[in-house]
Amino acid sequence: MNSHKIENAKTQVHSNSLLGGRGVLFLLLSLSTLFSFALFAFRLEYVDFDYSKIQSVRDICFYRGTQTFFFLNWNLFLAWIPYLIALSLPFLYRKFNSKLIIVGALLCWLLFFPNAPYIITDFLHLKKRVGIPLWYDVMLFMSFAWTGLILGYVSLLEVQVFLRNFFSKTVVNFASIIALLLCGFGIYLGRFQRWNSWDIITHPLSLFADILNILTQPHTLGLAIVLSAFLLLGYFTLNTLAQSER
């Protein structure tokens, strides 16, 4: 009886510390996001961007190109989606206790997961531009890419914590590796084939046809392979650091 109480107390302490850690981490990620937005806003001021050009959301889309880098803000917004979905999993389970809803939420998370590390490929737009120091654009891209990458890893860790309530550690780790491999492929689809996460609903047949065509020409998957390897190395590094802290 006493051992049962001790075990419950340990579980409660662990849950409280985990919740506290999540709060601090959420705050840090929010600050990192605001810092990225601040760098972007200062850049617009530095290059004397004419804000009168922005009269609607359509105008923002028009000026989102490589001169203004508005696309970085959109990409970072998308990077937050898998993290928020991962955070909502325990709430959804307690609220509805439905396997169908949880599976649906996990599938949504998997679809949006590539959007988080996708921002690292935005470095393709980095080059010396008139009117702004190159080092500033390097830090701008670094800030957005770092925040997006960490959002992706943290969302994966949140999903792992949730799934370990139902599956063994080995199964969860294997599923995480598969998710990272699919993430690398998803980034390739987004960067070079220009597919979006929601196209699986709006254009499913065209998307799957394109995927089948790509798989028949594996030599085109260089970026997907390199990104998957990069993401896996980062994942194993974070896991090793986490275990060393225990």
| pLDDT tens digits, 125-145 | 888 887 889 999 999 999 999
| pLDDT tens digits, 10-54 | 334 344 445 457 889 999 999 999 999 999 999 988 887 776 666
pLDDT at 55: 64
Residue 66 domain boundaries = 24-244
3-class DSSP string for the chain: CHHHHHHHHHHHHHHHHHHHHHHHHHHHHHHHHHHHHHHHHHHHHHCCCCHHHCCCHHHHHHCCCCCCCHHHHHHHHHHHHHHHHHHHHHHHHHHHCCHHHHHHHHHHHHHHCCHHHHHHHHHHHCCCECCECHHHHHHHHHHHHHHHHHHHHHHHHHHHHHHCCCCCHHHHHHHHHHHHHHHHHHHHHHHCCCCCCCHHHHCHHHHHHHHHHHHCCHHHCHHHHHHHHHHHHHHHHHHHHHHHCC
Q: Averaged over 65-84, what is the pLDDT?
A: 88
Tell me if 144 is assigned to some domain: yes
Tell me if 234 is assigned to some domain: yes
Tell me if 16 is assigned to some domain: no
Tell me if 204 is assigned to some domain: yes
Tell me if 115 is assigned to some domain: yes
Tell me if 3 is assigned to some domain: no
Tell me if 11 is assigned to some domain: no
The total number of structural domains that make up the chain:
1
